Amino acid sequence: MRLLLIEDNESDAILVRELLKRSTWLTIRVAWAKSLAEGLAQLSESEFDAVLVDLGLPDCQGAAAFMRVHEHAPEVPVIVLTGLDDDSVALAAVHAGAQDYLTKGSLREELLSRSVRYAIERHKVVKKLRWYADALAEKEQHLSLIVERLSLGILVTDAEGTIRFANTAAAETLGRDKAELVGSSVQFSWERGKTQRAEIPREGGEPVTCEVETRETQWEGQDAFLLTLRKV
């Protein structure tokens, strides 16, 4: 495992290296950069499993040091290291995406190695969750496109009959815009769990006869009904 330590104080850098060398949990090779600029250069040239960055660097101070590292290498977990008594700066970095923060005065072998190990594991979990979220969003996009291209009219209503979703075919069947349909009430009779014929009024035109099938479903976490409209 490779870790990049961005720390201008040589004594602190030696301490971190020694503590990690003693770790029985991880075998870590530590690369040392004495400034943010040098650290960013190393991140561009080599791959690292994690970064430990001091928030009191000569060329960058406070949470901005973390932000520069994170923007430069967003796929690498970052732990911030601070010698400040005020935790607010380190917490600001954590809120911005840092995996953890450590104060120099409390550095211990077990604490440091555990922080590095957990930071890497948490980052892997977050990365996997993002992948699943992206995959789900892509599937939803494909499904939405399919529903939009159906010749079958699709309506989703809440328990009171208020329309929450309408596809293009349903809007054309009802002679209204989709934007107008959402939030309005269904203007024809239908029974839950049944397939029936209904005379559906159309704005500015003659009513159209449709076969309406109704099924119970969920919409945005609430009980709802799925209505399919097929012209006959």
Q: pLDDT (tens digit, 9 = 90+) per residue, 156-183? A: 999 888 999 999 999 888 888 888 889 9
| Cβ proximity of 113 and 23 under 8 Å | yes
Specify whether 119 is located in the same domain as 154: no
Specify whether 113 is located in the same domain as 171: no
Residue after which a domain boundary falls, among 104, 133, 162? 133
pLDDT of residue 150: 87
- Euclidean distance between CA atoms 207 and 156, whole angstroms: 21
Average pLDDT value for residue range 111-131:
84
| Cβ proximity of 214 and 227 under 8 Å | yes
pLDDT of residue 86: 62
Share of the chain above pLDDT 90, in %: 32
Domain total for the chain? 2
Specify whether 20 is located in the same domain as 129: yes
- Euclidean distance between CA atoms 38 and 91, whole angstroms: 25
Q: Residue 49's domain spans which residues?
A: 2-133
pLDDT band per the 50, 70, 90 thresholds, residue 149: confident
Q: In this structure, what are the phi and psi dihedrals at residue 176, rounded to the nearest 5 degrees?
A: -135, 165
pLDDT tens sequence across 65-98:
999 999 999 989 999 998 766 677 778 888 888 8
CATH of the domain at 46: 3.40.50.2300
For residue 55, what are its two tokens?
């928030």
Residue after which a domain boundary falls, among 101, 133, 165? 133
